[in-house]
Structure 1
Amino acid sequence: MYTLDFESDQCRDVRATGGKAASLAEMVAAALPVAPGFAVTAAAYRTFLDQGDLRTRLSAALGRLDGTGDQAKFDDADREISALFESVSLPDEVAAAIRESYAALCASTGVENVAVAVRSSATAEDSVGASFAGEFETWVDVAGADDVLAYVHKCYVSVYAGRVLSYLCEKDIDPGDIEMAVVVQKTVRARAAGVMFTLSPTSGDRSKIALEASWGLGLSVVGGEVTPDLFLVDKIGMTIVERTLGDKRIEYRRGDAPQPVPDDRRELLCLHDDEILALAALGKKLEKLHGAPQDIEFAVDEELAAGHNLLLLQCRPETVWSSVRRTPAFDTSAGLLGWVTGSISGTAPAAPAGAHDLAHKH
């Protein structure tokens, strides 16, 4: 199948729909709040590649990479492959399936030519060992079937961007293993948006939930264009233990270009306490569902009523602290007394190797 609704069990297969779409389908199955939409499957991407000699020429371009990490070579391959993909249209059968699913989305939302976000969803995306967050492209406020088709094609064109190839080399992932599915999802009219970690991203403390948010769409947070507000929630007592005002000078209201935040909102926190705690509760539910700490994108939709306006945009495994090997506080073979005396003399074991470095990377 070339398209799958989020409600479909098949949409939960990351091999078929990629990391973003599969996580959205998992949330729908768990009755968690997400904006409606559908996935253009990896099968559609394979059908695109099957046209003419596209696969042969793609293999040749990738074959010229020597794995040395030379960014200039990655950028050269990016330009060559992008031009190659731009020269080939979406197959008719793929385009027809996308048009049909988009028409169904318009009907279900009651909005003609409903505005959607078109988001790359790679099949190797957001595994615990390698998070592709921010590497692939997202476009918002795409309206009309013709434009949806054009931006799905743009997702294909961007598969082998220079930064993606560099990342794959760093993680020792074969570029040929990447397949591209695409998420098409109703655009959220965000009053505020951001990311949530079900542990502290600075310390790895699993008793905390951290939220970073700013005004408007989450593009400014993900792109590092603002210093977001920071909120820290105690996961056990579900109380807010920290509120830090950020520097929120710009916001994306429609996704095309940023605009200045009015002065009267710059000094205001963008999330209310009840929203923070409700989001934290959703984060706990997602962590329990997946059995591991999660990295979650969310938005507060200004068009929806309070109590129904919190939407989850994406959920993926947290990859920084999850990769840190947890070691016992003391060597059990040495006995408790040895650990106590070692603590007094200053020779007790230190924190897990790499933990301090990881804290500063987030």
Structure 2
Amino acid sequence: MSSRDTANVLWFDELHRKDVNLVGGKSSSLGEMTSSMEVPVPYGFVTTARAYQYFMSQTGLNDKVNELLEGIKDYENSDELHKTCEEIRNLIVGATMPSDLAEDIKKAYADLSEKMGQDDPFVAIRSSATAEDLPNASFAGQQESYLNIKGADDVVNRVQQCYSSLFTDRATYYRHKQHFPHEKVALSAAVQMMVFSKASGIMFSVNVANGDESKIVIDAIYGLGEYIVLGKVTPDHFVIDKQSMKIVEKNIIKKSIQLVRLPDGGTKEEPVPEELQDKQALTDSQVIELAGYVKEIERHYGCYMDMEYALDANTNRLWIVQARPETVWSQRKKKAKGEDVGDENVVDESDAKVVVR
């Protein structure tokens, strides 16, 4: 067994997409882009699936969780399911993390601080599920993301909260329906330098409105991208032709609110300055720069991709903060070719909940 297999923490540049068993899809994708591609990704580290399994066994939680799950008489009874899942999540959050694991996470955060030349840097922490023997581990359900987190103790605490998110009602129900034992699922937490976004958004290497693969779609809002995910702000919409790399469609929307980070941690909603509300959140040249990254990422992965980006307020630099295979049109394409598309009821990893402090 290599040291990678027993590590509790691995850095982005030590990871590749084939490491999905070690760290899940989201974390391995951040690793792949950092170690094998020329796209700007904020640096960070991940806790491994092994770290999660170690936590669950050392705390005796596996047995307790099994006992509680076996006590569920009827999974179709949403009240009973909810009560048990809530109890499990509280047990996980309330447990004391093994000191060696907590120290590994704190040391990695201190190392990140040193590498970045910042004391106690602000980070975003995102969950990434992994499951043995399951090609599509995105079933794991609503996985939490925590933004603008600062300080080693809080990072450890949020990793533990990520662990508990494997036992949302929805994820637990799905695993039961699939006859999938909970010990075979694990969770990796990606701890990534926070981008102080003045604008951000999502982008696809296929036009998701109609499946046109000759186009790239980029949506943009002011502030943190969570307000697109949560549907609170209608974004500016750009369509770019992959061949000519020209913007062929542009729809600029009035954007009156934004989610912004607070200097000492956490986030808040505030109005977009009046003079900016009707202006596009990204310049045309920034849109074209992003489209170049989209093409590169799609070429590298060999499939339609769904990505998130952020524009840093301090440096005016664009960053890619997430990339994953797009599911809807990829599945339709496979179906049209008569290929197996797997379980259509799978909860996609992009169906994630964002928690802002």
**Residue of structure 1 in register with 2:33 after alignment:** 27
Task: Work out whether residues 89 and 153 of structure 1, in 8 Å CA contact, stay in contact via their aligned partners in 2.
Answer: no
2:28 is the alignment partner of 1:17: no
Q: Cα distance 1:133–1:240, how it changes in 2: closer, same or farther (>3 A)?
A: farther
**Residue of structure 2 in register with 1:138 after alignment:** 145
Distance in 2 of aligned mates of 1:133 and 1:160: 8
Deviation of 1:52 after TM superposition, in Å, equals 4.3
Task: Work out whether residues 299 and 313 of structure 1, in 8 Å CA contact, stay in contact via their aligned partners in 2.
Answer: yes
Larger strand proportion, structure 1 or 2? 2
Deviation of 1:73 after TM superposition, in Å, equals 3.7
Which of 8, 13, 32 matches 1:2?
Answer: 8
Task: Work out whether residues 134 and 222 of structure 1, in 8 Å CA contact, stay in contact via their aligned partners in 2.
Answer: no
Distance in 1 of aligned mates of 2:181 and 2:67: 14
1:54-93 to 2 correspondences below 5 Å: 54-64=61-71, 69-93=76-100
Distance in 1 of aligned mates of 2:137 and 2:335: 19
Deviation of 1:204 after TM superposition, in Å, equals 1.1
**Residue of structure 1 in register with 2:305 after alignment:** 294
2:310 is the alignment partner of 1:318: no
Structure 2 gaps of 5+ residues are 1-6, 338-343, 345-357
**Residue of structure 2 in register with 1:263 after alignment:** 274
2:105 is the alignment partner of 1:98: yes
Distance in 1 of aligned mates of 2:100 and 2:194: 25
| Helix, strand or coil at the partner of 1:258 | strand
Which range moves more in the overlay, 269-278 or 172-181? 172-181
**Percentage of identical aligned residues:** 35
Which range moves more in the overlay, 160-169 or 92-101? 160-169
Distance in 1 of aligned mates of 2:227 and 2:114: 31
Distance in 1 of aligned mates of 2:74 and 2:104: 37
Which of 179, 183, 191 matches 2:190?
Answer: 183
Which range moves more in the overlay, 78-87 or 213-222? 78-87
**Residue of structure 2 in register with 1:347 after alignment:** none
TM normalised by structure 2 equals 0.84
Q: Cα distance 1:271–1:184, how it changes in 2: closer, same or farther (>3 A)?
A: same
2:290 is the alignment partner of 1:282: no
CA deviation vs aligned residue, 1:115-173 (integer Å, no higher than 9, x gap): 11111111159x98574698211111111111111111111122212243356568886
Aligned length in residues: 326
For 1:15, give the aligned amino acid.
N
The structure with more radius of gyration: 1
TM normalised by structure 1 equals 0.82
Structure 1 gaps of 5+ residues are 329-353, 355-362
Task: Work out whether residues 12 and 25 of structure 1, in 8 Å CA contact, stay in contact via their aligned partners in 2.
Answer: no
RMSD over aligned Cα, in angstroms?
A: 2.6
1:116-265 to 2 correspondences below 5 Å: 116-124=123-131, 131=138, 135-166=142-173, 175-254=182-261, 255-265=266-276
**Residue of structure 1 in register with 2:3 after alignment:** none
Task: Work out whether residues 297 and 315 of structure 1, in 8 Å CA contact, stay in contact via their aligned partners in 2.
Answer: yes
Q: Cα distance 1:164–1:249, how it changes in 2: closer, same or farther (>3 A)?
A: farther
